[in-house]
Every structure is written in C-alpha cells, then in structure tokens.
Amino acid sequence: MKNILVAIDGSRFSDMAMDKAKELADIYGSTVTILYVDDSRQHILNRTSEIDEQYAEMFDMLSRDILESGKQRLAGLGDRLIVKKLEGNVANTIIDYANENDFDLVIIGPRGKGKVERFLLGSVTIKVTAYVNKPVLIVR
C-alpha cells in the first residue's frame, strides 16, 4: 500500500481517519495525502457584497486552520505527507480526485453528529463509498 488518501473536514472523525492513516503509513511506508474540499463558494452566491467577502475570508481561514491542524497531526510522516485543498461539491470532488489519482486506499470518517445520525452514515460518506473505485475505509 503506497498511497493513502484521507478526506478531512476538521471533525473528530477526520482526526480519527488521519490517525488510522498514520498508523498504516508507518507500517507500510505509505505516502498520505490529506484532502480538504472547500464548498463555501456554493454557499456564497454574490461575492460582491461586504458580507459575502467576510464569509469568504472566514471560510478561507477555516480551511487554512483545518489543513494546518492536519499537517501538525501527521508531521511525523515528513516528506510522505501531501496536503491538498480543492473547491467544489465535497462528495463529488473527493470521488473525482480519488478516482483520477493513484491511491491504494481512501480513508474517511462518518459525518453524523446527532443522536439519530449517530447510527447512520453521512451523505458524503455514502456517496464516496458508492462511487470511488478504490477500497474505502470508514473510521469510527
């Protein structure tokens, strides 16, 4: 197993997914790519207003913080860590990136956080497992 993709979103589940990726990378000498998909542009329709600019800045800061946290969490991998940020629909972007690149495994966490959702997989996770043509590991 040479290349592992981990989709992250800043949740505790993505932290658990990164921990599992680190564990596997240490065993197999794998390269780990952490991928954060920024979908904020879908929520900001008119970027010309001052409020929209403030939202855009807030989302940019959030994505930088999430990626920086991921880099720190996996710093022990050294040059075997790749950090990637893409924009678009979260599920579709993860699927396209995973399928278009040479990954041996995709690791993702479940997205549900509420009492009922705790027993269900999130829509992103369901879509990724259905459409990625590589093995997918869901970490809980």
pLDDT of residue 130: 95
pLDDT of residue 55: 72
Residue that wins the pLDDT comparison between 3 and 12: 3
| pLDDT, tens digit (0-9, with 9 covering 90-100), for 114-135 | 444 444 567 899 999 999 999 9
pLDDT of residue 9: 92
What residues are paired with 38 via a beta bridge? 87
| pLDDT, tens digit (0-9, with 9 covering 90-100), for 30-50 | 999 999 998 876 655 555 566
- Tell me if the domain spanning 3-112+129-138 has CATH number 3.40.50.620: yes
> And the tokens for 59?
């989302």
Distances (CA, A) of 51 to 58, 62, 88, 132, 137: 11, 16, 21, 37, 39
pTM of structure: 0.87
pLDDT of residue 50: 61
Cα-flanking dihedrals φ and ψ of residue 8, to 5°?
Answer: -120, 155
Buried b (16+ CB within 10 A) or exposed e, 19-58: ebbbebbeeeebbbbbbbbbbeeeeeeeeeeeeeeeeeee
Give 110's pLDDT tier (boundaries 50, 70, 90): confident
